Amino acid sequence: MKSTPKQFDQLIKEKLNSLEFTSQASDQELLKQKLHAAKSKANKQTGIKLLLVIGICASFALMQRYFKKGNLQYFKVQEISSALPYLASEAAAFQPKREVGSESQATNMPELIAHFQQEPNSTPALFEKLQHLPKFPHGKISLNGLDEIQAPAIDQLVKYEGKFLQEAQTSKQKTLICGQSEDGSKLIVAQSKVAKFKADSTLSNNDDFGVYRPSGLQEDAVIQYAVFDKKTLFKRFQFEQIHHGIRTTKIAKPQKAEKVKTEKNKEADALHTSNTTPNLHVHPTRQYLETEYEEYTYYIQNDSILFISDRVNYVVIMTPDGDILSKAQIVISEPYMYYLGEKTAFFDQATGKVYLSVSTLYHFNIYELDPNNGQTNFLISLDDVWPDPNFSVVNGVLHYRKDNKAFQQQLRP
Amino acid sequence: MELYKQTFPLMMSIAVRFEKNREDQLTAVHNAFMKMLKSIEQFRVNASFEGWLLRIVRNELIDAYRRQHKLSNIEFTELKNEIPIADFQIEILENTAPSQLLDIINTLPPASKLVFNLYAIDDYSINQISEELAITRDTVKWHLKTSRKILRETLANLKNPEHEINS
């Protein structure tokens, strides 16, 4: 008889289904072994997981304990790791008093002193190295409950050409100061740092950067200073603003084709001499008027110096080393004002915030400034406009004077 | 162990068709049994235990095949003396002993054996096999056709040893 594929498959299926199998003792033994191996493998995995969890918990607990015990030690390690190797011994300043005299630290000191004596302190290369000096921790910090370090207040120590700094601004902890020389031509920024090496006792008038330890400053501290030529620095703010695409002044119209010189306009031209025409920088696509010099008022905000132009148009954030962190044009857009009068900026030392007052035709508007981008946040509008309001903000409260009376108003956070 | 003794014949009846060596057959059976123990909570009480167990064994065998071979690399086997399906006498198959038939099935190329087993014995459809093994329907059909040809030729050879097979 001939078959179809279906019949063929069906017959095979029937034949195979008739087969019978029984398990042997050896098969069962094999399965037992396999089950045992699987069980021990699972136990092993559970053990490893448990160990891992215990390890993570233990390291977490240790870390917690470590930071709780002395966050100053953590600070030390963090700072020193980035510093130059020879400065590592400076970490001694962070150690508790009874550890300062230990042998290992004492042995490094002569080498360090010798190194500093060999190299003149005033070189820029040295300044770069000194930038890695750890800053003095703000306020009183306890070291494992054994000792306390008080960051030195430097506002009464820093002098330039033998005179205290003019119009000086200091940080809350008095560890950073920014002020001017007596003649107003120099801007001096000084900051206390942790270092035990030998240093001059006076600020050198010939160097722009350096460190010194004035009399009255503790042995484990130095003052690192930077002297800037004020005009050059402020021009640098403005110049760099232009090249960052921010319009500081009016953009001159492109020069038109030369007018046909008629008798009439020849006479007119004769009245306007070339001395009165602005100095134009010729550029293929843009032409700028030369930047007008503008003074800046400065404040210390955390570890940076905040500069606000006198006409309250620009804000710049600079590090004590002279690196510009941000620059922005101050933007006042809300609420819409037909007339924008005088703007003044004032700094709240307690909160570190900057506020602006803007006079309009009928009100004084108060804003909070974001120094990072120049954006302003409208806070309140006062009912009137009057001369000499003497605005100031202390801990979020606006103080002002009107008709010889003092007023104050809470600004919303 | 009682459960093992009871389920062993059922599991082994499939394993012998897919694997040639007893060692491999036992490995597949034991792996399937352990999987069954591990996932016994997933078994629904009102479902067929046999069907569930057979599915576990089949999946284990397919996985084992996947581990060993690549389905895409199919070697097409040319047959010298091809016997047309109409000429095959069904009596030859009827007179063959089941154990002998199992041995003949085990001579099939691995991929063809897998496809033939799933289709002819385990009642999988062509689409199911195609999806399960990630091969085209035409490839499945080719494997079925090849398997049947080899089986018919081998069976015919048992009766008439003059035929030659190139496997």
Per-residue HEC secondary structure of A261-323 comes to CCHHHHHHHHHCCHHHCCCEECCCCCCEECCCCCCEEEEEECCEEEEEECCCCEEEEECCCCC
**Is residue A93 in some structural domain?**
yes
More confident residue, A240 or B120: B120
Residue B130 clears pLDDT 60, i.e. is over it: yes
- Cβ-based contacts of A20 with chain B (< 8 Å): 9
Q: Mind telling me how many Å the CA of B107 is from chain A's nearest CA?
A: 15
Quote the ipTM score: 0.75
User: For B5-141, where are the E strands, in sequence order?
Assistant: none
> Would you place residue A83 in the very low, low, confident or very high pLDDT band (cuts 50, 70, 90)?
very low
**Is residue A88 in some structural domain?**
yes
Contact B90 A27 (CB under 8 A): no
Sign of CA dihedral A23, A27, A29, A31: negative
> Would you place residue A265 in the very low, low, confident or very high pLDDT band (cuts 50, 70, 90)?
low
Round to whole Å and give the CA distance between A296 and A317. 12
Residue A331 clears pLDDT 60, i.e. is over it: yes
Q: How large a percentage of chain B has pLDDT more than 90?
A: 1
For residue A388, the model assigns a pLDDT of: 85
> Would you place residue A53 in the very low, low, confident or very high pLDDT band (cuts 50, 70, 90)?
very high
Contact B90 A7 (CB under 8 A): yes
Residue B51 clears pLDDT 50, i.e. is over it: yes
Residue A89 clears pLDDT 60, i.e. is over it: no
Contact B26 A38 (CB under 8 A): no
User: pLDDT, tens digit, for every residue of A134-143?
Assistant: 776 655 554 4
Most trustworthy range by pLDDT among A99-113, A287-301, B3-17: B3-17
Measured CB to CB, residues of chain A less than 8 Å from chain B are: 1-5, 7-9, 11-13, 15-23, 27-28, 30-32, 34-35, 38
User: pLDDT, tens digit, for every residue of B32-47?
Assistant: 888 888 888 777 777 7
Q: How large a percentage of chain A has pLDDT more than 90?
A: 4
Backbone angle region of A374, left / alpha / beta, with phi > 0 → left and psi within -120 to 50 → alpha: left
Across B26-35, average pLDDT: 87
Across B105-132, average pLDDT: 88
A52-66, A94-108, A200-214, B4-18 — which is least confidently predicted? A94-108
**Is residue A41 in some structural domain?**
no
**Is residue A354 in some structural domain?**
yes
Most distant CA pair in chain B: distance in Å?
56
For residue A34, the model assigns a pLDDT of: 81
For residue A266, the model assigns a pLDDT of: 57
User: Pick from A190, A206, A230: which residue ends a domain?
Assistant: A230
User: Pick from A183, A214, A230: which residue ends a domain?
Assistant: A230
One domain, residues A354 and A225 = no
More confident residue, A151 or A317: A317
One domain, residues A79 and A213 = yes
| Inter-residue contact A115 to A204 (CB < 8 Å) | no
The domain limits of chain B are 2-68, 85-159
Residue A107 is part of which domain span? Answer: 72-230
**Is residue A381 in some structural domain?**
yes
Residue A40 clears pLDDT 80, i.e. is over it: yes
Residue B122 clears pLDDT 60, i.e. is over it: yes
Angle at A335 between CA A329 and CA A339, to 5 degrees: 75
Across A259-288, average pLDDT: 50
User: pLDDT, tens digit, for every residue of A169-217?
Assistant: 888 878 888 999 888 888 999 888 877 788 888 877 777 888 888 888 8
Residue A254 clears pLDDT 60, i.e. is over it: no
User: pLDDT, tens digit, for every residue of B131-167?
Assistant: 888 888 888 889 988 888 888 888 887 766 544 444 3
Contact A21 B13 (CB under 8 A): yes
**Is residue A271 in some structural domain?**
no
Number of domains chain A is built from:
2
Residue B84 clears pLDDT 60, i.e. is over it: no
Residue B81 clears pLDDT 80, i.e. is over it: no
Nearest chain B Cα to A38, which residue? Answer: B34
One domain, residues A223 and A338 = no
* B2-68 shares its CATH topology with B85-159: no
- Cβ-based contacts of B93 with chain A (< 8 Å): 3, 8, 11-12, 15
Interface test with B, best of A1, A22, A23, A33 (most B CBs within 10 A): A23
For residue A251, the model assigns a pLDDT of: 41
For residue A268, the model assigns a pLDDT of: 53
Q: Mind telling me how many Å the CA of B115 is from chain A's nearest CA?
A: 12
Nearest chain B Cα to A21, which residue? Answer: B9
- Using the structure block, give the residue that is written with the tokens 């300044």: A127
The beta-carbon neighbor of A1 closest among B33, B89, B148 is B89
For residue A307, the model assigns a pLDDT of: 92
User: Pick from A230, A250, A271: which residue ends a domain?
Assistant: A230
For residue A118, the model assigns a pLDDT of: 53
- Cβ-based contacts of A28 with chain B (< 8 Å): 1, 4-5
For residue A52, the model assigns a pLDDT of: 92
Angle between the N-to-C axes of helices B2-18 and A5-17, in degrees from 0 to 180, rounded to the nearest 10: 150
The beta-carbon neighbor of B93 closest among A8, A32, A35 is A8
- What tokens appear for A41 in the block? 């493998």
Backbone angle region of A144, left / alpha / beta, with phi > 0 → left and psi within -120 to 50 → alpha: left
- B81 phi/psi in degrees, rounded to 5: -105, 90
CATH 1.10.1740.10 fits B2-68, yes or no: yes
Tell me the residues of chain B between 34 and 93 that have a Cβ less than 8 Å away from chain A.
34, 85-91, 93
* DSSP state letter for A238: H
User: pLDDT, tens digit, for every residue of A132-166?
Assistant: 677 766 555 544 444 445 667 788 888 888 888 88
Contact B16 A28 (CB under 8 A): no
Contact B85 A31 (CB under 8 A): no
Contact B101 A15 (CB under 8 A): yes
User: pLDDT, tens digit, for every residue of A337-373?
Assistant: 666 778 889 888 888 889 998 888 888 889 999 988 8
CATH of B85-159, one of 3.10.129.10, 1.10.10.10, 3.30.1120.80, 3.30.200.20: 1.10.10.10
B17 reaches A (C-beta below 8 A) = yes
